[in-house]
Structure 1
Amino acid sequence: MHIGVIAKRDTPRAVELADRISRHIDADVTLDALTADALGTEGRSVGELSACDLVVSIGGDGTFLFAAREVSPTPIVGVNLGEVGFLNAVSPTDCVEAVRSAVGRIEAGEATFQELPQIRVEGDGWELPAAVNEIVVLSPQRGRDNGIGFEIRVDGERYSAGNGDGVLISTPTGSTAYNLSEGGPLVHPDLHAFVVTEMCPSEPMPSLAVPTAAELTVSIEDAGYAFVVADGRSRERVDPPTSVALRLAETPVRIAGPPLEFFTALGKLE
């Protein structure tokens, strides 16, 4: 059994937990390079985490998103050091036992995983990495007189067109993040739907939930340039007029360990 460990950068508590897990789990352990540097590499394995059987992410949702981008479809156990932790179901106190339990289930062939859909976007000659939370088509500068013209189509049928700061397409997981701040709805993680939300449009339409199997197209015009951004990290500059296509990614994020506590995490938003 081979597990990988990723700890939040520049966070001593996360590094300490990574050390605890690596010393108390009966498995081969590989650390990401930054965590290994913090702990010292002597006697420790540093390498490619996507080759592991299980990866442990220690930090907040940002650390989990980084891990998911690097290792999916390898299953992930998320240890929560943040205040909300929609993607991390394990407390620091329980982390060793949770990882030990997940390792035991995988070795026994009894593991089940919660799967989170990802969304992928592509344009003319480019494609961004799959996003766990959202894809955003965004004007280079937000605010009055700084928007982009857009048209949104679902399975070829026009849903909306107008001018605004951009268009946000969220997964159920991402409905609690950027989508919520833009006025989009919360979506239960068991629903197989993406949410399309216009950002400060001149003639607003309500957010639209579409099946994850739908074909989404966002056409961009009336702007010098625009950005397409995946999970706030990966981005592509595009020159209008152009169109981008969005679809369900082939690979979901797989979560090992206890199920995500959606309603408990929602209570922390208050």
Structure 2
Amino acid sequence: MDAAVGIVAQRDNARAHELAATLVETVEREYGSAPVVDEATGDAIDARAVPVASMSACELVVSIGGDGTLLFVARAVGSTPILGVNLGEVGFLNAVDPANAVDVVTDLLAGLQADTSLESRTLVRLRATGADADWTLEPALNEVLVHGPRRGHGGGATVAIDVDGKRYAESDADGVLVATPTGSTAYNLSEGGPLVDPSADALVVTGMAAAEPMTPLVVDPFAAITLTVSDTDTAYVISDGRNRQRLEPPATITVTLAENPVHLVGPQTNFFEALEKLE
């Protein structure tokens, strides 16, 4: 791909499409090469469009929308540097205000042209693998969840948690999730798990409505976490709420760090200010 910049705008969002069009025009005028956009945005603003996964060949990908849009982009482009422009309410991942987006993008591109490496914040991702390595889910930026035949009350199973081969807890529960620091503010928080500073080297294991004590546990990010599910005919393991694998218990899932983290570039979110928006 000959484009240095890819732009992904939130679907059906006129503000996102308008900003994408402005960025395309500005970058082409200032640098002589037009960015590419995702296919839905291309239809909306009549710009050169490619599948989002193709943007992994770009030097920079701009995500315009909420955290959900950035999660979508991260799944597709992996370790390609991502800049998040926030059109959502909270914005743990998207730090750039739309009014500043053009200036931030042009500054980043000027650095790239000068062969200056982009400063970035590294976000670890999780990999869930079957016991016999016969399947592996797409990496999760937020969390890996294991639950019984259905999510929520009444759909539980017995889940045992082992960390580096040592049993931590076992209980009948609605499910168990393993979250990254990024994901600590998402599903983990809603299930009573702790907040984790984004700069911390840690993972969180949180039980969901467990019958026996299963206090949320903070572990070393390089620990091997195994979740063994039993006492149910069917169970599921889910990566970031989208990619799933059906299980036939008893089944064991290993959760470890994925090889390729996500890299966020540009201004970074003030974590504590973002927390205030949750209330």
TM-score (norm. length: structure 2): 0.93
Q: 1:176 aligns with which of 165, 181, 185?
A: 185
The amino acid of 2:128's aligned partner reads V
1:77-123 Cα deviation digits (max 9, x unpaired): 00000000100000110111111111122232332111011111011
Give the CA deviation at 1:145.
Answer: 4.4
1:144 to 1:37, Cα distance in 2 relative to 1, 3 A:
closer
| Matching of residue 118 in structure 1 with residue 122 in structure 2 | no
Counting only pairs closer than 5 Å after superposition, residues 25-36 of structure 1 correspond to structure 2 as 25=27, 26=31, 27-36=33-42
Q: 2:113 aligns with which of 107, 118, 122?
A: 107
| Matching of residue 20 in structure 1 with residue 22 in structure 2 | yes
| Matching of residue 89 in structure 1 with residue 98 in structure 2 | no
Match of 2:21, SS? helix
Q: Is the 8 A contact 1:169 1:195 kept in 2?
A: yes
Q: In structure 1, what is the equivalent of residue 50 of structure 2?
A: 46
Match of 2:245, SS? strand
- Structure-2 separation of matches of 1:75 and 1:133: 18
Aligned residues: 268
Q: Is the 8 A contact 2:124 2:141 kept in 1?
A: yes
Match of 1:127, SS? coil
Q: Is the 8 A contact 1:22 1:29 kept in 2?
A: yes
Cα RMSD over matched residues? Answer: 1.3
Give the CA deviation at 1:17.
Answer: 0.7
Give the CA deviation at 1:143.
Answer: 5.0
Q: 2:204 aligns with which of 195, 199, 216?
A: 195
Match of 1:46, SS? coil
Give the CA deviation at 1:218.
Answer: 0.4
| Matching of residue 133 in structure 1 with residue 137 in structure 2 | no
Q: In structure 2, what is the equivalent of residue 65 of structure 1?
A: 71
Give the CA deviation at 1:259.
Answer: 1.6
| Matching of residue 259 in structure 1 with residue 263 in structure 2 | no
- Structure-2 separation of matches of 1:70 and 1:145: 34
Unaligned segments of structure 1, at least 5 residues: none
The amino acid of 1:31's aligned partner reads V
- Structure-1 separation of matches of 2:110 and 2:148: 48
Q: Is the 8 A contact 1:101 1:257 kept in 2?
A: no
Q: Is the 8 A contact 1:5 1:56 kept in 2?
A: yes
Match of 1:79, SS? strand
Unaligned segments of structure 2, at least 5 residues: none
- Structure-2 separation of matches of 1:39 and 1:71: 22
- Structure-1 separation of matches of 2:143 and 2:50: 31
The amino acid of 2:106's aligned partner reads R
Match of 2:222, SS? coil
